[in-house]
Structure 1
């Protein structure tokens, strides 16, 4: 299978996920700026979730830019990632509807943890099957940033029932960590593109 088909499908699913999330933002019926204040939790939840989906899209793009071939296992690992990402709009909606209540904050953390685990398995599948160029595989193994992120999500889920705002802070911190560009793949792609 051509990797372009996988990336186009993945891009389409991610675009739909973002569209679903933005459609959950409901405009107020009043024509005043004050009417926007009650929408702040919904907007904050949307903004954080949008950032997460954008981060996954960015990293997915770079990962598959360095991929040479696609196997059946890689297809399923990618589908596994898309499944968990597709649940983010649901947890985002519940989070915003309940104004960051404890159980929704915990579920939101789980909905962030699950795609991070799936992405980890996807990258391991690409390395294991030697689908990635050797320099890129070497650059992303081990994935300390990903493992630290998973630990933060687990802490956030555990804290959600006592301190939901601390949990939200941890989730936002992980997004900030990933928002800072990860140069490992780009630098290694540039090295591979240089003439000998």
Structure 2
């Protein structure tokens, strides 16, 4: 399997997913502040998901940059990741429409949780295919903390409205820092 082709295919799918998400946004039904306020939650959900997908793309790029070979296992996990991530527009629209309902919130968190699991599995498969692949890009301890936050967010969303989007902000914020820092450390070690 050609690493570049798989990465390009992933880039294309992520671009399509992001485009589909923006099509779910609607212009305000008027030109007053109350009309705009009705669209704030969908816009916020879109921004959170967009930032998350942007970070997913960057993390995926970091991971593939560190890979030397792509095995069939890497291909399968990557395709499962894309299948799971293709649920982002649906879960984003659903939580934006029903921000205080349990099932849309849990679904939204489950989608973020799933893509974290698939990124972890992708790193695992990459290391199996090539022992030179660094095992700490999707670091275990930090990943565990993110998973716990998502599980707690899912539980709390049953009792507290709007927890799913807050959980999304926290976890995606962590995603913005952790894989990038680990990748930078790995690159520095390679250059020494």
Normalising by the residue count of structure 1, what TM-score does the alignment of the two structures yield? 0.89
Rounded Cα–Cα distance in structure 1 between residues aligned with 2:91 and 2:136: 33
Q: 1:94, 1:104 within 8 Å by CA — same for their partners in 2?
A: yes
Q: Which runs of 5+ in 1 are unaligned?
A: none
Superposed displacement of residue 103, structure 1: 1.6
Superposed displacement of residue 35, structure 1: 2.1
Q: SS in structure 2 opposite 1:7?
A: helix
Aligned length: 191
Rounded Cα–Cα distance in structure 2 between residues aligned with 1:148 and 1:101: 25
Q: 1:41, 1:100 within 8 Å by CA — same for their partners in 2?
A: no
Residue of 151, 172, 175 corresponding to 2:172 = 175
Q: 1:62, 1:186 within 8 Å by CA — same for their partners in 2?
A: no
Tell me which moved more, 28-37 or 16-25: 28-37
Matches within 5 A, 1:93-172: 93-130=93-130, 134=132, 137-140=134-137, 142-172=139-169
**Residues 107-134 of structure 1 deviation map (CA, whole Å, 9 limit, x = unaligned):** 1111111111111111111112216xx2
Task: Let me know the Cα RMSD of the aligned residues.
Answer: 1.9
Relative distance call for 1:141 and 1:35 in structure 2 (3 A) is: closer
Tell me which moved more, 24-33 or 74-83: 24-33
Q: 2:149, 2:171 within 8 Å by CA — same for their partners in 1?
A: yes
Rounded Cα–Cα distance in structure 2 between residues aligned with 1:41 and 1:91: 13
Tell me which moved more, 26-35 or 41-50: 26-35
Q: 1:49, 1:88 within 8 Å by CA — same for their partners in 2?
A: yes
Relative distance call for 1:142 and 1:37 in structure 2 (3 A) is: closer
Q: Which runs of 5+ in 2 are unaligned?
A: none
Rounded Cα–Cα distance in structure 1 between residues aligned with 2:183 and 2:22: 30
Q: SS in structure 1 opposite 2:39?
A: helix
Rounded Cα–Cα distance in structure 1 between residues aligned with 2:185 and 2:106: 36
Normalising by the residue count of structure 2, what TM-score does the alignment of the two structures yield? 0.91
Superposed displacement of residue 142, structure 1: 4.4
